[in-house]
Structure 1
Amino acid sequence: MRMMPISMCRPGMRLGKKIYSEEGIVLLAEGYELTDSMIQRLQDKGIGYLHINDPRTEGIQIPEILSEETQKQSLSTLRTVFRELVDQPGKRHTGAYPYVGRSLRQVMHLVMDDLQRNRDAIIMLLNLNTLDHYLYMHSLNVCVYTLLLGMGHGYSNDQLNTLGLGALLHDVGKMKISQQLLNKPGALTAEEYEEMKRHAEFGYLMLKDEPNIPLLTAHCAFQHHERLNGSGYPRALKGDEIHEYAKWIGIVDSYDAMTGHRVYREAMLPHQAVETLYAGSDTLYDTAMLKVFRDKVAIYPVGITVRLTTGESAVVVDINAASMHRPIVRVITNEAGEDLAAPYDIDLSKQLSVMIAKVEIGPSER
């Protein structure tokens, strides 16, 4: 199986994994043969990558950080809770709707159970095979990535639960921003940008009095766009004025936004996003936190197609945890782009004369 950017997908290719509708119903079955119209529809819905069956990559297993069931249940709960937080704020504060916090803790329980089973998991592109709203997928992504960092940092289970809730709800204030503004395809005007920035304060106000949700969770929503040098918003906090949980979430939120496909722009590749984050080391982001993040990110995720310095094309088979930039790859074409009759694997951590030159993403490679 391969994980292909949708820009590389062509009619006749067959899906390696099911794709679900927003309601959790199977929309496209495993083995479905793609058409031009379906590729375009998936692209319009914000799907950035597809799992594709390819005989040359038989045996390559793309790891799932979360089980299929956890993904479905978590996204379903997020849809319900986010809408409830917007539609019924007054009633919940009377105690009539105390289940919001409990529902979110059930999500945290599911996610933590999956992650605890694989504490050494690294941050892969969390390609949720669903046509769900970007906000829900982004929230779940940020939660998972942040928890992996928190585990690597050594937080206790209680700390991880609070951190995870903060990550899960960091962008809930965007429910108060118009969909037209959130999905605007071009640059925002100064007035629109000011309105967009209000989501941090909206999130704080929506969460601060919620029963069963720690106040610190509300502060994560309030502070995740603050930056070390005071250039962030909404309060231009600096350094230690920003809670450490919000600093972690700020790094992950930026990474997932950069690597996520949106209708109006192409996604960055993981190595590009990491480089961009490091450009803000000690000015925007804490350097020690960035190092933990870098050590947990799969620069070249399993299943992605790369071009080697030899001119050959290969698919990433496995990650070398001690050398993220030198994975095990399966060579599938020669330097002329011709398919090999017998693809073969290379461990780049051992074959030092060969390196990854670029990641293949379709018509305009990066």
Structure 2
Amino acid sequence: MRLVSTKYIKPGAILGQTIFNENGVVLLQKGMYLSQNILHRLQRHGISYVYVVDKTTSDIQAKSVISDELRNTTTQTMRNIFTELNGSDVVKHSFILDKQQGKLASIVSQIVGEIQSHGESISMLADIFLSDDYILQHSLNVTVYSLAIGQAMNLNANQLSELGIGALLHDIGKGLIDKNILNKPGKLTDEEFEIMKTHTTMGYNILRKQQSISTVVAHCAYQHHERLNGSGYPRGIKGDQIHLYAKIIGVADVFDAVTSNRVYREAMLPNEGLEVLYAGAMDLFDKDMVEAFKNSIAIYPNGVSVQLSDNRIGVVVRQNKHLCDRPIIRILEDGKRGTPYEIDLSKELTVMITKCHI
């Protein structure tokens, strides 16, 4: 399979992956031909990239990080929480979260297990969904990324559980934000953005009153938009004033935001999203956390076309775990040999990836 921008796919291409909605219902089946109408629908729904079948890359696989069953369970649990929160009073919030606490802990435990058994660096591009509820998918993605960082930093089982629940609930305050602002397809006005920023405080106020929820989980909702140099919100705190978990979730949150498909903005590729994090390392984000994240994710996902520093062009075939910027490449064009061949960038140290072609 090859990862291709939906803007450049020609009608008649064959879909290389099944596309679901957020309930796990198949919308587009793997192997179907993509018509111009279907391609336009994908673009209208903010789907920037999909995998298509290609003869030279037919053996390349994009493996999902977590199972469809776990994704569906997580999404439904989060939907139940957000639905019940909407319009309910603060007293009722306690019963909603107490009822879901055990299920959230179980979900986090399963996600940790599936990340550990995944065997490759993490890429969420294998999981493409048509969804009308960005927050649900975002919450799950941020949880997966946060737990990957936490594992790379050698957090213990209890810390990973707290971090995972904090990540799942980090945007819980958005359940109380006006839907016209929350789902606005364009840029928010200054006034609307000030309202949006209150989701951190509202989320904290919901979570800190729950006997079944750890105080540090409440601070994940409160502090995930704080930044090391004090430029974040809601309080503008700095450095070690920000809880470890909130710093981790802040990194995961920004990465998923810039690499996710949105109706009003094309998603960045993972290598571009990582550049955003590195640009903010030291000032905005903890550099060690960014490094831990880099060592956990597939910067160049399987199936993405790349150009190398010696001008050879190829496709990423497999990942070298913990050397995420040095994958195995199938060379398709080198100006000399007509037959495709593979090189391992963990061994070809003088060769670098200089560009992604989508």
Q: TM-score, normalised by structure 2?
A: 0.90
In 1, Cα distance between the equivalents of 2:116 and 2:194? 40
In 2, Cα distance between the equivalents of 1:217 and 1:5? 38
Is 2:326 aligned against 1:326? yes
Partner of 1:122: 121
Partner of 1:190: 190
In 2, Cα distance between the equivalents of 1:312 and 1:35? 32
In 2, Cα distance between the equivalents of 1:53 and 1:264? 28
In 2, Cα distance between the equivalents of 1:42 and 1:272? 22
Which whole-Å deviations, capped at 9, do the CAs of 1:179-210 have from their partners, x for residues lacking one? Answer: 43234344332212211211111211232223
In 2, Cα distance between the equivalents of 1:315 and 1:70? 30
In 1, Cα distance between the equivalents of 2:355 and 2:295? 20
In 1, Cα distance between the equivalents of 2:127 and 2:322? 27
In 1, Cα distance between the equivalents of 2:297 and 2:93? 40
Alpha-carbon RMSD: 2.4
In 1, Cα distance between the equivalents of 2:48 and 2:340? 26
**Amino acid paired to 2:76:** S
Q: Quote the offset at 1:355 in angstroms.
A: 3.3
Which whole-Å deviations, capped at 9, do the CAs of 1:230-285 have from their partners, x for residues lacking one? Answer: 11100111111111100011111111111112111122222222222122222211
**Amino acid paired to 2:127:** L
Partner of 1:163: 163
Contact 2:65/2:124 (<8 A) preserved: no
- Unpaired segments ≥5 residues, structure 2: none
Contact 2:166/2:217 (<8 A) preserved: yes
Contact 1:92/1:210 (<8 A) preserved: no
Contact 1:166/1:221 (<8 A) preserved: yes
Would the alpha carbon gap of residues 273 and 93 (structure 1) be closer, same or farther in structure 2, given more than 3 Å must change? Answer: closer
Is 2:61 aligned against 1:61? yes
Partner of 1:27: 27
Partner of 2:52: 52
Would the alpha carbon gap of residues 175 and 335 (structure 1) be closer, same or farther in structure 2, given more than 3 Å must change? Answer: farther
In 2, Cα distance between the equivalents of 1:4 and 1:37? 17
Is 2:216 aligned against 1:219? no
SS at match of 2:130: coil
SS at match of 2:129: coil
Q: Counterparts in 2 of 1:236-315, with a 5 A limit?
A: 236-315=236-315
Q: Point out the more displaced range, 10-19 or 221-230.
A: 10-19
Contact 2:125/2:301 (<8 A) preserved: no
Contact 2:294/2:324 (<8 A) preserved: no
Would the alpha carbon gap of residues 235 and 180 (structure 1) be closer, same or farther in structure 2, given more than 3 Å must change? Answer: same
- Unpaired segments ≥5 residues, structure 1: 362-366
SS at match of 1:289: helix
**Amino acid paired to 1:154:** N
**Amino acid paired to 2:342:** D
Q: Point out the more displaced range, 192-201 or 202-211.
A: 202-211
Partner of 2:178: 178
Would the alpha carbon gap of residues 353 and 227 (structure 1) be closer, same or farther in structure 2, given more than 3 Å must change? Answer: closer
In 1, Cα distance between the equivalents of 2:46 and 2:102? 30
Q: Point out the more displaced range, 161-170 or 298-307.
A: 298-307
Partner of 1:350: 347
Q: Counterparts in 2 of 1:95-114, with a 5 A limit?
A: 95=95, 98-114=98-114
Contact 1:2/1:57 (<8 A) preserved: yes
Q: Quote the offset at 1:349 in angstroms.
A: 3.2
SS at match of 1:14: coil
Partner of 2:92: 92
Would the alpha carbon gap of residues 179 and 8 (structure 1) be closer, same or farther in structure 2, given more than 3 Å must change? Answer: farther
Partner of 2:137: 137
Partner of 1:40: 40
Contact 1:71/1:128 (<8 A) preserved: no
Would the alpha carbon gap of residues 48 and 215 (structure 1) be closer, same or farther in structure 2, given more than 3 Å must change? Answer: farther
Q: Quote the offset at 1:224 in angstroms.
A: 0.2
In 2, Cα distance between the equivalents of 1:151 and 1:24? 28
SS at match of 1:61: coil
In 2, Cα distance between the equivalents of 1:85 and 1:335? 60
Q: Quote the offset at 1:341 in angstroms.
A: 6.6
Q: Quote the offset at 1:115 in angstroms.
A: 2.0
In 2, Cα distance between the equivalents of 1:164 and 1:114? 13
Partner of 1:8: 8
Q: Quote the offset at 1:121 in angstroms.
A: 4.4
Would the alpha carbon gap of residues 77 and 4 (structure 1) be closer, same or farther in structure 2, given more than 3 Å must change? Answer: farther
Would the alpha carbon gap of residues 15 and 354 (structure 1) be closer, same or farther in structure 2, given more than 3 Å must change? Answer: same
Q: Quote the offset at 1:76 in angstroms.
A: 1.9
Q: Quote the offset at 1:152 in angstroms.
A: 1.2
Contact 2:318/2:329 (<8 A) preserved: yes
In 2, Cα distance between the equivalents of 1:43 and 1:210? 41
Q: Quote the offset at 1:309 in angstroms.
A: 3.9
Contact 2:120/2:320 (<8 A) preserved: no
